[in-house]
Amino acid sequence: MDTGVTTTLTAFAAQHAVGLTRFAYVLTGDRQLAEDLVQDCLLALHRRFGEALPIEAPVAYARRVIANGQATRMRRRSSLETVVDAIPDVGVDGTDLSEQDAAWRMLATLPRRQRAVLVLRYYLDLSDDEIARMLDCRIGTVRSLAARAFAALRQHPLLAADVEENQS
Amino acid sequence: MNDRQFEAVLRSALVQHAATVNSGPTWPLDDELLDRSTGRRHRAAWWPIAAAVAAVLAVLGLVLAVRHNASDRHRPATPVTVTRTACTIDPSPAWSAATNAATLKLGDTPSVILGGAPDGTVLLRYGFGKTSHTELIAPDGSRRTLDERPELAGGFTAKGAEIDRRWIVLPVWPNTPDSPTTPPLAEFDVIDRATLHRTEAIQLTANDKVNAWAMLDGQLYWVDGHGRVADHDLATRQTRNVVPSGALSLNSSLTGVAWSDAQGITHQVAGAPVDQVPGLPGRHPDLVTDGTAYAWVGNGDLVWYSAATRQTVLIHDFAPGIKVSVRAVGGPYVVVEDNALGPNLWIADTRTGALMDSDTGDPIVSAAGILAFSGLQTVIAHVDRLPELSC
């Protein structure tokens, strides 16, 4: 069965660059890194396929490249990144956190794979089976990572207080 | 806040923050930057010439190899050790083209390689639920279909199938979608490879907590949660315990099975030692083989050995400061996993020392000249059709 050419890389980028950057952003929590990952992904697609994209699910493929690219970036970070003393992003006011802000902040404390599982499950609404294939692991590993991530997030003081309030 | 509320908060947080991103990176890059980043223009200009030269050299090499084999048939090869220095290279377009050609065209259908046989046959499942299919794919590309869902109703199978000349064994887990962790194995489904019909379902209890299994010459071995090693004869359907306690896991190769204890010491159960290269001294816990080539990491070097040519290749400076483990070897290629910060796979070409990031997927099968990867796409590659990776 021949998959045939479904789109061009330029058209694909025009249509999906923002969506992929959003995905990379929630995956990493770092907007600059997210853009870099998407740029790397487009370059990887260009290197592999040229301008024509002869794959049937380029968005899923790109997401996988981004998820894997994050691991590679983390491994190479020590030699590629420069430490600065000023944070370029402007953070939110931490004195009156909403539950969403608290959840976002807690996500940043999770190990990469735990965070990836939560993002794939709750941002992309992928099934555990799909997540397992994307992360190259077993379904049980996905569930285990999700359970550990949940346990870690539940230990945060803000959510712990919410739990107590609800229980009382 | 219950779990459902918590999930809703999490979902909302992700969507809210994602929505703050309203732009992506620029694409296409200007030509100069693109060419510098990918080297594409340079490679595109030389690619046809390089391909032609490679084809001529490959034919020449094949002729020489055939003549060499014919003339040396009755003479043992002389052991040779070669050292190379590792070099990291950019993704190879030739490698991508070769793996694309070896990618199974299954459309949007998800697929997973369940296991492989020592003869290079691959067991593939594709599709979901009631539409899933399980096929045996031989090295020549011929396919045979198993029952669409050979495992018993209510269970599911995944990676970890064992295949030898006569039998296929599928591990089956109970289908408990709400469980946050993988439940203990429920059974082994035994399938006759000749008829592709199930001949036996070896029932396991949750209390068995079977966590490792391996098959060799019609014997299925498994380790349970009590430290026992069981040996099940697939022909007579008889099970006996060969180790009463103390076993933590099983190590297996194409030619042997061993169990390891809590101290990491391996004890042979059947066949050849799994951590030794025939004819060479030393034991290597991470030894992998495709039946002819062997690879392991020793003293910081990646070591590759061919039983056919008795050539050893040592690749120095392989991964300084990074913990790596060898995942598979297929001919001259070694697949290595880097566990430093999130698992990452590399392909090493022992002919050159070139080391390349692999986006091909997880290596599941490496035997008899076949290197099969299971990831977003399924790749079943003939090693002799993959290009040399150059520094």
Predicted confidence (pLDDT) per residue in B109-123, tens digit? 778 888 999 999 999
Determine contact, residues B223/B211, Cβ cutoff 8 Å. yes
| B335-385 pLDDT per residue, tens | 998 766 556 788 999 999 998 988 777 777 889 899 998 877 889 999 999
Closest CA of chain B from A94, distance in Å: 15
B372 with B363: CB under 8 angstroms? Answer: yes
pLDDT of residue B59: 74
Query: Residue A164: is its pLDDT beyond 80?
Result: no
- Residue B148 pLDDT greater than 90, yes or no: no
Q: For residue B185, which of B207, B163, B167, B168 has the smallest C-alpha distance?
A: B207
Of B280, B281, B320, B279, nearest to B299 by C-alpha is B320
Q: Token pair for residue B94?
A: 């030739």
The whole-angstrom separation of Cα A154 and Cα A161 is: 10
Test mutation, A30, A36, A46, A145, chain B, max B CBs within 10 A: A46
Cβ–Cβ contacts within 10 Å for residue B169, how many?
Answer: 24
A79 compared with B91, residue with greater pLDDT = B91
Q: Are A154 and A165 in contact (CB under 8 A)?
A: no
CB contact under 8 A, B180 and A153: no
Q: pLDDT at position A157, please?
A: 66
What is the C-alpha to C-alpha distance for residues A30 and A28, in angstroms, rounded to an integer? 5
Residue B271 parent element (H or E): strand B266-271
The pLDDT mean for chain B works out to 83
Q: Do the chains contact at B110 and A13, CB–CB below 8 Å?
A: no
- B294 token code pair: 């062997």
B46, with CB counted inside 10 A (0-12, 13-18, 19+), is exposed
Q: Is the pLDDT of residue B77 over 70?
A: no
Question: Would you say A114 and A145 are in contact if contact means Cβ atoms under 8 Å apart?
Answer: yes
Q: How large is the ipTM?
A: 0.82
pLDDT reading at B265 higher than 70: yes
Element (H or E) spanning B379, and its range? strand B378-382
Contact: A25, B12; criterion CB under 8 Å: no
Contact B172, B156 (CB under 8 A): yes
Residue A90 has pLDDT above 50, yes or no: no
Nearest by CB to B14, from A48, A123, A153: name it. Answer: A123
Mutate to test the interface with A, among B16, B27, B99 (most CBs of A within 10 A): B27
Q: What is the mean pLDDT of residues B2-27?
A: 83
Higher pLDDT, B131 or B290: B290
Cis ω for the linkage preceding B363 (within 30 of 0): no
